[in-house]
Amino acid sequence: MEYIIETNKVSKTFNGKKILDEISLKVKQGSVYGFLGNNGAGKSTTIRILLGLLKVDRGDVTIFGDKIAISNATYKQHIGCIIDSPVLYEHLNAAEFLQLTRLLKNLPKTEISRVLEIVGLADNKKLIISNYSLGMKQRLAIANSLMGQPRLLILDEPTNGLDPQGIIDVRNLLKNLPEQDNCTVFLSSHLLDEVEKIATDVGAIQQGKMIFQQSLSELINDALGCLSLEITEPKLALDLLVSKGFSLDIQSNSQITITNIEKQHCPSVHQLLINNNIEIFQSRYQARSLEQCFQKFNQQVN
């Protein structure tokens, strides 16, 4: 099974308004999949459908290789999730709180120390949860969702409301989970910088429609970047490069920037300049960020 989650043209309407319009997700096993979209785009609605909390109007959802059905919820035993704000019993300490989940799920005692170790809270397990920082609470909620070693973790905006240190802690935790706990992570977010640091794969929805879905590295590499060059003879270089169809700016009498160029075309630009006796002192290629890619696709839709 290549995909842990696969949805096929899932559509959902609320009060006559189409909220999800033929959403087809493909989430690879062992990936950290960042599900992007602005406020109100339909991320939480999609997550509620994946978790069987909402029925689709049209389309189908396959998780762990089987189509999900309201009548058969066994697939949920292998999913850990946090939707909305995590509910923690704050008068308990972490070990006591996780003990409740352990008993409910009938898991071995070792499971508590295993998940506390993963989220880096082993040293704080006796501290009352109300004394935890927001980031520690979020990590505890993730520990709770990892009880029983789920194959899939679904998180709706996991870094929402956290301070910079909390964001870093949760980021490091989520990034390492596939390898550390053999678990696929599906997380929604509108924080593009954050997703760029965590995800291996990304998909985005805008007004209920998928606007892209790709591995992060392919998305960034396929997007056209900028090549900044420090050279002799910038005017001659400009003429040469324009004649080859490049668009570019002259910044100073030694600096030019080629906008919208694929990375693999940079060596031929260098060669062209050298062949024309133009000396290159510095050359720097800057790839697009996830944010720039998102904006580009967004503009295409609007």
Ligand X SMILES: Nc1ncnc2c1ncn2[C@@H]1O[C@H](COP(=O)(O)OP(=O)(O)OP(=O)(O)O)[C@@H](O)[C@H]1O
Interface residue list for ligand X (CB under 6 A)? 14-15, 19, 37, 39-45, 190
How far apart are CB 41 and ligand X at their closest, in Å?
A: 4
With CB under 5 to 8 Å by kind, the binding choice for 257 among Mg ion, ligand X, none is none
Shortest Å distance, C-beta 104 to ligand X: 28
| CB closer to ligand X, 45 vs 93 | 45
> In angstroms, rounded to a whole number, what is the distance separating the alpha carbons of residues 12 and 244?
48
Question: CB-wise, 24 or 133, nearer to ligand X?
Answer: 24
Which C-beta is closer to Mg ion: that of 19 or that of 220?
A: 19
Cα-based distances in Å from 274 to 55, 122, 270: 62, 59, 6
Q: Minimal CB distance to Mg ion: which residue?
A: 44
Q: Which among ligand X, Mg ion, none contacts residue 37 (Cβ within 5 to 8 A by kind)?
A: ligand X
Q: Is the Cα dihedral 259, 262, 264, 269 positive or negative? A: negative
List the interface residues with Mg ion, window 12-31 (CB under 5 A). none
Distance CA 222, CA 216 (A): 10
Residue ranges of the alpha helices (H) in 84-133?
Answer: 94-105, 110-118
Nearer to Mg ion, 140 or 205 (CB): 205
User: Least distance (Å) from ligand X to the CB of residue 54?
Assistant: 8
Q: Which does 41 bind (CB under 5 to 8 A by kind): ligand X, Mg ion, none?
A: ligand X
Which is closer to ligand X, CB of 87 or CB of 103?
87
**Closest approach of Mg ion to the CB of residue 157, in Å:** 6
Q: Which is nearer to ligand X, 44 or 221 (CB)?
A: 44
Q: What are all long-range contacts of 10-14, with beta carbons under 8 Å and residues at least 24 apart?
A: 10/46, 10/49, 10/56, 10/58, 10/59, 10/60, 10/61, 11/56, 11/57, 11/58, 11/59, 12/42, 12/45, 12/49, 12/54, 12/56, 12/57, 13/57
Q: Does 99 bind Mg ion (CB under 5 A)?
A: no
List the alpha helices (DSSP H) in 119-161: 134-145
Q: Can you tell me the distance from the alpha carbon of 164 to that of 182, in angstroms, rounded to the nearest whole number?
A: 27
- Which range binds Mg ion by CB under 5 A, 37-45, 70-78, 196-204, 207-215? 37-45
Work out how close the CB of 159 gets to ligand X at its nearest, in angstroms, rounded to a whole number: 13
- Among ligand X, Mg ion, none, partner that 42 touches (CB below 5 to 8 angstroms by kind): ligand X
Binder of Mg ion out of 8, 11, 44, 207 (CB under 5 A): 44
Alpha-carbon torsion 250, 251, 256, 258, what sign?
A: negative
Decide which of ligand X, Mg ion, none touches 144; Cβ closer than 5 to 8 Å per partner kind: none
**Residue found by looking up tokens 């019993």 in the block:** 89
Q: Is 128 exposed, middle or buried (0-12, 13-18, 19+ CB in 10 A)?
A: middle
Nearest residue (CB) to ligand X, 102 versus 190: 190
In sequence order, the β-bridge partners of residue 206 are 209
Which residues sit at the interface with Mg ion, rule CB under 5 A? 43-44
